[in-house]
């Protein structure tokens, strides 16, 4: 697998798109991003000191109705990387990795589907290591802060790449899920209501129970209390 190292790029996901027509598996890494993106078009702070990468997968015979596996795998890979340094991260649906209730990483998955199969998956991850997070007002945490140590960014990067794959990590995702079986606060647009998180369906929807019955969420914000 090819590893491409860049000093600076607008977005590793955008840059990695050039490999979609070559069929070449690659990991694109950058020291800095000038236009890092999160989900729902949000910007992602990407100053030097973090790990910013996109891995391009070309799986064979991967059914399109199991796309959520890419999200599960990315979240689990971030968790395993943090666990390598003695931490106990938790996942908030769908792919937020938290330590002490603060966000450790940003994950952006972009899939290319052809017919009924996944042709390619761009798995973008921005992992906080020693980058400055003061502008985020305390909602995020770095590995340095969480461990109380000064970690080597390249070492963290290599561990994260090692943990990224396209196997089925559903069981490991569930083991680290901070929300399953818990009371949560759901925000859908201007509507907010409480519910109980029951399960994550194979397509990634969150099955919940409210006072009006059961339903499945495909897109919403959830709030949880993280121990």
| pLDDT tens by residue, 40-88 | 555 566 789 999 999 999 988 899 989 999 999 999 999 999 999 999 9
CATH code, domain carrying 197: 2.30.30.100
Query: Is the same domain home to 126 and 204?
Result: no
Domain containing residue 187: 183-223
Which whole number is the average pLDDT over 15-27?
94
pTM above 0.85, yes or no: yes
**DSSP code of 205?**
P
Query: Is the same domain home to 12 and 97?
Result: yes
Q: What confidence score (pLDDT) does residue 219 get?
A: 84
Q: What confidence score (pLDDT) does residue 90 get?
A: 96
Q: What confidence score (pLDDT) does residue 47 get?
A: 81
Query: Is the same domain home to 123 and 150?
Result: yes
Which whole number is the average pLDDT over 113-134?
94
Mean pLDDT of the chain: 91
Query: Is the same domain home to 161 and 56?
Result: yes
Which whole number is the average pLDDT over 32-44?
67
The yes-or-no verdict on residue 3 having pLDDT over 80 is yes
Query: Is the same domain home to 13 and 98?
Result: yes
Q: What confidence score (pLDDT) does residue 165 get?
A: 83
Tens digits of residue pLDDT in 205-214: 999 999 999 9
Higher pLDDT pick, 166 / 105: 105
Query: Is the same domain home to 141 and 36?
Result: yes
Q: What confidence score (pLDDT) does residue 168 get?
A: 81
- Tokens representing 68? 């959520």
Query: Is the same domain home to 167 and 211?
Result: no
Query: Is the same domain home to 147 and 201?
Result: no
Query: Is the same domain home to 21 and 42?
Result: yes
- Between vectors from CA 108 to CA 179 and to CA 184, what angle results, nearest 5°? 20
Q: What confidence score (pLDDT) does residue 46 get?
A: 76
Residue 221 burial (10 A CB sphere; 0-12, 13-18, 19+): middle
Q: What confidence score (pLDDT) does residue 191 get?
A: 92
The yes-or-no verdict on residue 136 having pLDDT over 90 is no
Query: Is the same domain home to 74 and 122?
Result: yes
- Predicted confidence band of residue 39 (pLDDT cuts 50, 70, 90): low
User: Which of 148, 162, 226 has its CA nearest to residue 3?
Assistant: 162
Q: What confidence score (pLDDT) does residue 226 get?
A: 52
- Number of domains the chain is built from: 2
Contacts of 93 (CB under 8 A, 6+ apart): 177, 179, 197, 200, 206, 222
Residue burial 156-178, b: 16+ Cβ < 10 Å; e: rest: bbebbbebbebeebbebbeebbb
- Predicted confidence band of residue 135 (pLDDT cuts 50, 70, 90): confident
- Predicted confidence band of residue 156 (pLDDT cuts 50, 70, 90): very high
């Amino acid at each position: 697998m090819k590893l491409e190292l860049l000093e600076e790029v607008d977005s590793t996901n955008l840059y990695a798109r050039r490999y979609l027509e070559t069929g070449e598996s690659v990991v694109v890494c950058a020291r800095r991003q000038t236009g890092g993106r999160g989900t729902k078009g949000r910007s992602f702070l990407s100053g030097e000191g973090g790990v910013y990468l996109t891995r391009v997968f070309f799986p064979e015979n991967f059914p399109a109705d199991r796309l959520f596996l890419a999200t599960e795998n990315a979240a689990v890979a971030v968790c395993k990387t943090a666990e390598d340094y003695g931490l106990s991260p938790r996942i908030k649906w769908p792919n937020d990795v938290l330590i002490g209730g603060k966000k450790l990483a940003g994950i952006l998955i972009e899939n290319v589907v052809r017919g009924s199969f996944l042709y390619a998956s761009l798995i973008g991850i921005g992992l906080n290591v020693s980058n400055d997070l003061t502008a985020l007002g305390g909602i995020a945490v770095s590995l340095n802060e969480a461990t109380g140590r000064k970690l080597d960014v390249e070492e963290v990067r290599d561990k994260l790449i090692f943990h990224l794959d396209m196997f089925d990590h559903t069981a490991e995702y569930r083991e680290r899920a901070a929300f399953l079986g818990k009371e949560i606060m759901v925000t859908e647009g201007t509507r907010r209501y409480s519910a109980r998180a029951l399960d994550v369906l194979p397509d990634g929807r969150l099955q919940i129970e409210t006072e009006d019955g059961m339903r499945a969420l495909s897109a919403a914000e959830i709030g949880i209390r993280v121990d």
